[in-house]
Amino acid sequence: MYNTELIYQSFGEKKNNMDLVFANSVCSLCGKKIEYGVLRKYFFSSNFTNHDELKSKSDFLCKECAFCLGNRDLRVNNFICASENKIYLFKKNDIEKYIFDLEKKIKPPFIFAVTKSFKKHMTFKTKINFSLNKFNIFFENHNVLFCKAEHIYIYSILKNLYNSFSKDELNNLDSCSFLNIEKFGFKLFLEYRKELKQFEKTKIYNFLVYILNSEEKLEKIKNKIEINKNKNK
């Protein structure tokens, strides 16, 4: 099965019917042989910049690839696609809810994609996953391999650090301010650094920093300010 076919299926009844024309060609995007398809020119707007990634110079697209290219939701959201009618579109601060509890929502095969720019075509570059414990997430430009057992622990450390440090600091732990380390506690900071050492600066590490929930952090800060206000009354 092709990635765009799985995505197409996951939309179930929510798809519009497409007018297909006789093509007897291959799909320009996925390279699959097609009898009927749609003309490529209708789907390649000026913001399509992936011409070097096309599988063929054919003038046609299969209906699944055409659907994926034409669907705005798949560009401006993070998404998980699984079987029929199992499509989840969600925002950045909700990624962690999905990633660690995936088995409650879907069964493999599935596709997981996360956008940073909210404008790029990701669908045809994704990988189909067959395991809920170890899977590829397409993250803006490339696939990162997520291993639940290992990365759930790393994420818990990052979450703790995020209470005291910025995402920029987490992406480069050498840049953490002395004042912040002092506030956080030297001993624990050094322990965490040791645990993170082999992950630092890897793609999956940057991904895990990216998905840390900024809304939740803001909420915690607000609550702290509120508590301090009440104390000083």
Binding site for Zn ion (CB under 5 A): 27, 29-30, 62, 65
Question: Nearer to Zn ion by C-beta: 81 or 158?
Answer: 81
Q: At a CB cut-off of 8 Å and minimum separation 6, what does 12 contact?
A: 84, 85, 87
Cβ of 226: how many Cβ atoms within 10 Å? Answer: 10
**Longest Cα separation, the chain:** 78
Q: Look up residue 227 and give its amino acid.
A: I
CB of 69 to Zn ion, least distance (A): 9
Question: Nearer to Zn ion by C-beta: 62 or 102?
Answer: 62
CB of 122 to Zn ion, least distance (A): 15
Question: Nearer to Zn ion by C-beta: 42 or 118?
Answer: 42
Any idea how long the chain is?
A: 233
Question: Nearer to Zn ion by C-beta: 69 or 161?
Answer: 69
Cα(184)–Cα(158) distance, integer angstroms: 13
CB of 86 to Zn ion, least distance (A): 21
**Which residue spans within the chain are E strands per DSSP?**
21-26, 33-39, 60-61, 78-81, 87-90, 111-114, 134-139, 142-147
Cα(15)–Cα(11) distance, integer angstroms: 6
CB of 27 to Zn ion, least distance (A): 3
Question: Nearer to Zn ion by C-beta: 62 or 212?
Answer: 62
- Partner residues linked to 87 by β-bridges: 81
CB of 54 to Zn ion, least distance (A): 10
